[in-house]
Amino acid sequence: MCSPRRQRPARYPKGRTSCNGRLAPSSIALLSTTMVADATPVLLEDFPSELFAEIFKYLIYDKASLRACTLVSSRWHKLARRYRFAVIKVTGWSDRFAAFFSFCRTQPDLARYITELTFVGGSELLAEGRKNPYLFQYEDFLSILPTLISLRTLRFRDVQVRGDLRLHHASGAVQAPLASLDVLEFKQYNQEPPGLEFLSIMASMLSLMSVNTLRFSGRVALRHFEPGVEALGRFKIRQLAIVEVDPVHQYFKYFEHAVEPDALRAVALQCYPVGDRTSYSPSITRFLSSEVARCLVSVDLDFFGLVKTVMRASERDNLGAALASCTQLMYLRLGLVGWATSSSSRREDEYHRAPTPQPPMLVPLLSSLPPTLRAFSLRLRVRCQEDGDWWTDCVPYWDVEKLDDIFAPETGRFSNLQGVVLDVYPDSKDRCVKTIEEYDAPLLPKLQAAGMLRARVIRESWMSALGQPFYPE
């Protein structure tokens, strides 16, 4: 890092960056202090274009620097018109939400270039030990919505959104251009479950904005399914992702009522949050069998936490029938932990102990899939023996070898199938991992002979692929 030497506020030191080429934090702080002190606009043309978003994000970050943003507005307007991007993160500390809304109302020419906006909440600890959350007022957000015409990504992280429940019913009277979002995300880890008020506000947002992907992660849970939910009306989304949500079955029930039929095209669901012992497969089955899911093209089901006999054989058959009812299904991905007893000495914590072999899983889920299927992907979290062998554990635990009989071209069941992808995620301690070419005999001989099998060893976090609807490359 560069030395944080203080400079005279007469002029910003041109080109001062950190050792990695990014603007040094002390320099950004100096930029803010300088402009507020002497009200002299800074020549932002001197900065490399890749630093604009970082500078703008910092200036939005606290209430005092918002004044600085106002002073550089004339310069920023010209540069933003040329580069057309702005990535903003606003925290709820010290009334920053209100300050940001005020900024957007007074500087609409700047707000119109915001493409990615994240609101980060939290809470302050009171003297008696209680927590007072930073609240996000939905009415304030509605007031700036007409200016966010370039917004594509909107995220709420640990934010308690509050507003008038009647706003949803009056939303049609709000004269504002609809925002077209690629992603609307709610991530909640440290707050209480939001309940009906949250759902009402979310329904209002979705009625005012066109949303491609709606994503939930963390503990954005419902207290219970209340009768008032059905009165909120329906909305359209194309893709739905639910990751690390517990209890997830409440959301399946809600979206059965909330999403317009024939609108949803892809779902990505983490069906068993890590450590959960409750089977949610009946809720998943009911959701996939509903009219909301009848036009699904892509389904991604992650069963990372599935252990022992949590899902009964009858539930597996019912889930397979639900997948078969998705008559337009083209892309299917499943995620499983694929090891049995032979590697039990490696680690014995709750999520990595060697479970007992399962009853057939892939056969009841995959045998009755619709003939429209074009690609199937199986993600396996594996542990390797000393010679790098992981297949020996997968076969007795899951019926992985049955993929040959299900998808082989000679069966004629899937004439549109282009290939099967096997993604192997080894344990972090496994240095030696065999590829399918290194085995003496073919693992899935029929698929390999037809050139339809692609196996990859992926050394990335298992969670990194979750929440992204599955569309093969």
Long-range contacts of 458-464 (CB under 8 A, 24+ apart): 458/423, 458/424, 458/425, 459/425, 459/426, 460/425, 462/304, 462/335, 462/379, 462/381, 462/425, 463/243
Q: What's the CA gap between 20 and 198, in Å, rounded?
A: 42
Mean pLDDT, residues 5-18 taken together: 39
The 10s digit of each residue's pLDDT in 232-275 is 678 889 999 988 776 677 778 788 888 888 899 999 988 655 44
pLDDT mean over 48-68: 50
User: What pLDDT, on a 0 to 100 scale, did the predictor assign at position 329?
Assistant: 95
Lowest mean pLDDT among 11-20, 46-55, 158-167, 232-241: 11-20
Q: Which residue has the higher pLDDT, 81 or 325?
A: 325
Burial class for 12, CB neighbours closer than 10 Å (0-12, 13-18, 19+): buried
Provide the pLDDT for residue 14: 38
Give the per-residue pLDDT at 435.
Answer: 82
251 domain-assigned: no
| pLDDT score of 220 | 54
How confident is the model at residue 8, as a pLDDT?
A: 41
Per the prediction, the chain carries an average pLDDT of 71
User: Token pair of 26, please?
Assistant: 């002390």
Average pLDDT over residues 450-466: 84
How many residues comprise the chain? Answer: 473
- In this prediction, residue 353 carries a pLDDT of 46
What whole-number distance in Å separates Cα of residue 469 and Cα of residue 215?
A: 10
User: Do the domain assignments include residue 473?
Assistant: yes
- Please indicate whether residue 83 or residue 344 has the higher confidence score (pLDDT): 83
Between 207 and 195, the more confident residue is 207
CA distance 344 to 355: 9
Q: Note down the domain range covering 440.
A: 272-279+299-313+329-473
Residues 360-386: what's their mean pLDDT? 87
pLDDT of 283 > 90? The answer is no
SS3 content of the chain, % helix, strand, coil (to 5): 35, 20, 45
Rounded Cα distance between 395 and 441, Å, is 14
Is residue 41 situated within a structural domain? Answer: no
Confidence band (pLDDT; 50, 70, 90) for 51?
very low
What pLDDT, on a 0 to 100 scale, did the predictor assign at position 87? 73
Mean pLDDT of 215-243: 71
pLDDT at 407: 93
Higher-confidence residue of 73 and 112: namely 112
Whole-number Å distance between alpha carbons of 292 and 129: 45
DSSP state of 283: H
Residue from 127, 101, 126 nearest 114 by CA: 101
H helix or E strand, kind and range, residue 106: helix 96-106
Neighbouring-strand partners of residue 332: 299, 376
Six-digit token string for 447: 């698929």
Tell me the three-class secondary structure of 351-385, residue by residue: CCCCCCCCCCCHHHHHCCCCCCCCEEEEEEEECCC
Please indicate, yes or no, if residue 117 is contained in any of the structural domains: no
> What phi and psi, each to the nearest 5 degrees, are found at residue 186?
-120, 120
Q: In the structure, what pLDDT confidence band is assigned to residue 462 with cuts at 50, 70 and 90?
A: confident
Statement: residue 455 has pLDDT above 80: yes
For residues 228-234, average pLDDT: 65
Per-residue confidence band for 19, with pLDDT thresholds at 50, 70 and 90: very low
Give a yes or no: residue 85 inside a domain.
no
Closest CA to 458 of 393, 375, 382: 382
Q: Which long-range contacts (CB under 8 A, 24 or more apart) does 340-347 make?
A: 340/393, 340/394, 340/396, 340/397, 341/396, 342/385, 342/392, 342/393, 343/383, 343/384, 343/385, 343/393, 346/383, 346/427, 346/429, 347/427, 347/429
**pLDDT given at position 473:** 61
Strands (E), 56-163: 87-91, 116-120, 123-125, 131-133, 135-137, 153-157, 160-162
Count of domains for the chain? 1
pLDDT at 346 exceeding the cut of 60: no
Say how many C-beta atoms besides its own lie within 10 A of residue 195's C-beta: 15
**For range 171-188, the mean pLDDT:** 69
Measure the CA–CA gap between 433 and 425, rounded to whole angstroms: 10
Nearest to 155 by CA among 183, 120, 118: 118
Residue 421, pLDDT score: 92
- What is the predicted pLDDT for the residue at 223? 53
**The pTM of the whole model exceeds 0.85:** no
Q: What is the pLDDT of residue 99?
A: 76
What pLDDT is stored for residue 56 in this prediction?
Answer: 54
| Residue pair 376/333 in contact by the 8 Å Cβ criterion | yes
**456 backbone dihedrals φ, ψ, rounded to 5°:** -130, 140
Residues 466, 423 contacting (CB under 8 angstroms): no
Q: Average pLDDT for residues 168-189, to the nearest whole number?
A: 66
> Which DSSP helix (H) or strand (E) runs through 76?
helix 73-83
DSSP letter at 468 equals: S
d(CA 266, CA 295): 9
- The answer to the question of residue 402 being in a domain is yes
Q: Which two tokens stand for residue 47?
A: 């900065």
- pLDDT band, residue 347 (cuts 50/70/90): very low
Tell me, what amino acid is at 222? Answer: L
305 in any annotated domain? yes
The CA distances from residue 203 to 165, 168, 214, 263, in Å, are 10, 7, 12, 15
List the end-to-end C-alpha distance of the chain, in Å, as a whole number. Answer: 40
Mean pLDDT over 430-435 rounds to 77
Q: Is residue 404 situated within a structural domain?
A: yes
Which range of 178-192, 257-271, 421-435 scores highest in mean pLDDT? It is 257-271
